[in-house]
Chain A
Amino acid sequence: MALIEYRGVSKRYGEAWAVHDLDLDIEEGQLVVLIGPSGSGKTTTLRMANRLVEPDSGEVRYAGRPLHSWRPEDLRLGMGYVIQSVGLFPHLSVLENVCTVPRLLGTPRAVAERRADELLHMVGLDPASYRQRRPRQLSGGEAQRVGVARALAADPPVLLMDEPFGAVDPLQRARLQDEFLRIQREIHKTVIFVTHDLDEAVRLADTVVLMRDGRPAQIATPAKLLAEPADDFVRAFVGEDRSLKRLARVDVGGAFRPVSVLRAGERAPEQDASCDGPTHHWVIDGRGKPLGRVKPGDIATPWRTLPTALKPYASLKEALACMLEEGSTVVAVIDDAGVLIGEISLTAIAASSGETGSGGAMELSKTAGTTVPQSIP
């Protein structure tokens, strides 16, 4: 039984149907992305899950119970809520914002604040320097991180996210997606995520629900959506560069390989006769941070500008973008402390692109055993 079930749900605003006869199951622990053109009913669908919008007909069930048998406040306290405009409370500090739901639930202040510190740390903000700040002192990306921390504060089983990363620049968005995915792999929440950005949907989703005119046009794993569009509408929406989009599904972590490293001043070993040694060596500093690359036989010297580096949980698409940016065919891979742990090469990207293209083998572990009902007239 699915955690959240929509059964024949309809909602109209004036003459127009926002959602029309929708059947949808949200399985426990799944990250379900609702995507579609504006006006396709994705936000309305999301807002019906916590009774911010009441359906005109049909029924939504949560944990097997009809939604109208829940008190709206109780329901919402169990569902984290993140919106595009963040909606931090401007008169409260970051700490007080994050503590909102635990305090509503009666958690003692000290416990709630300790939890808030953990969450700030988890979303990548140093508690010591952020907890007393006001929302207006935050950048867009920082505010959105606080928004996510606030939604997770009471450890709700469900997370509702309405274009949560829509208002930040593309670079920030990619980082927020990477970090959210890393967090989601730890906490396994049931997530309904609304976006109009296909790349984001492909990157994050266990299941993509592509909406059209208030009902799903296709419900599928990202790989399946890209490989087998159900009809012309889906094909048009998915677009031409599908193989490129698939790269967003694969993490650098699964495709990078270890490298040979040198300290500055050391001489790189000569290419051996058989020519199967490394074509370059990485230069690192005393703490293992990448400083540049040298050819075999050269003296290791740091680059004038630091080489671009990616974390293992970045996507291959980001890696490709970095290569195009730098005009190189390899990018350094570093851990959270900035220490070089390997490199990702164009060859590796091409290889894994071939794999995902031929059936999405890399995704089986994430999406196995999911059955989603679908009603297409």
Chain B
Amino acid sequence: MKRWKGALVALASLAFVTNSRMMGAFLGLLFPDIAEPLYPLASPLALFSQHAALAIGASLVAAVIGFLAGVVANFNRGTLRELVLSVGAFAQTVPPVAVLALLVPVLGFGTRPVMLALILYGILPVIHGTAAGLASVPPDALDAAKGLGMGAATRFLRIELPLALPAIAAGIRTSVVINVGTAAIGATMGAGGFGRPIMAGLVQFRTSYVVQGALSAATMAIALDWILAELERWLSLGDSGTAE
């Protein structure tokens, strides 16, 4: 029970930022001069679900692509690995805003260009986690597995994957946190999310809207980080054995 305390706190703060009454009251305290401090055009819960769908959806796709790319990178520790990591790094160096500008003519406005930009942005940490996790598998354990008669597929599933899992999970976690922050730009394409109150606040000089959007996105990023951290600890439990 104690282990999951962080995750419980995270869930409680998520409940707080998605509840319109509590969020409204909180913003009222911060901005007593503003009559209606809460963004009125969409409920906090609706903003949350749009934001979550964007960020988590993109991270899931990025996780799958990044994992497969990381596995491929591990086949050949030389050139192929360099190539995969470079492509991943390139995808991350291009700012998502630039990617959006490039994608809109092709995909139009809406969710699709935003998703694609977030996917590209989230792949690299997963590739890194996967490649590092697989590279960290002790070579003597692999030699023993091979010498004892495990085939390549069995070795991968029974030895390499379980040992790499904590590092892969760490990569996915980084990817999710990055994407939750970045998904705010989705509002510029009409994809919704916590970016909407931020944009509206900037345009209308309503600071409370900006604070609402920023605070919610930040809370969500931290909450997911904590929850995934617990998940990661649970995954690596098999490795660390009984707690000392």
Residues of A within 8 A of B (CB): 50, 52, 73-77, 80-81, 83, 85-91, 100-101, 104, 133-134, 136-137, 147, 150-151, 160
Contact = CB atoms under 8 A, between A and B. Distances in A.
A147 B148 CA distance: 11
B159 interface: yes
Interface of B: 138, 140-151, 154, 159, 162-163, 238-242
A76 B239 contact: no
B146 A76 contact: yes
Given A86-B140, A104-B154, A81 B148 contact: yes
Contact of A83 (B143, B149, B150): B143
A148 to B, nearest CB: 12
Contact of B146 (A52, A90, A136, A150): A52
B147 A83 contact: yes
A89 B144 CA distance: 9
B154 A136 contact: no
B241 A89 contact: no
A83 B148 CA distance: 11
10 closest Cβ pairs, A-B complex: A87-B144, A81-B147, A76-B149, A134-B241, A77-B149, A87-B140, A85-B140, A87-B141, A91-B239, A91-B162
Q: Choose among B145, B147, B238, B241 the residue with the greatest number of A CB atoms under 10 Å from its CB.
A: B147
Q: Choose among B141, B149, B240 the residue with the greatest number of A CB atoms under 10 Å from its CB.
A: B149
Nearest to B238: A91
Contact of A76 (B148, B162, B163, B240): B148
Contacts of B151: 73
Contacts of B141: 87-90
Interface of chain B, main secondary structure: helix
Given A89-B159, A100-B148, A134-B242, 11 more contacts: A81-B148, A83-B143, A85-B140, A86-B140, A86-B144, A87-B143, A87-B144, A90-B141, A91-B238, A133-B241, A134-B241
Contacts of B147: 50, 52, 76, 81, 83, 160
Contacts of B150: 73, 100, 104
Contacts of A136: 241
5 contacts: A52-B143, A73-B151, A90-B239, A100-B150, A151-B148
Q: Choose among A75, A85, A101, A133 the residue with the greatest number of B CB atoms under 10 Å from its CB.
A: A85
B237 to A, nearest CB: 10
A89 B145 contact: yes
Contacts of A137: 241
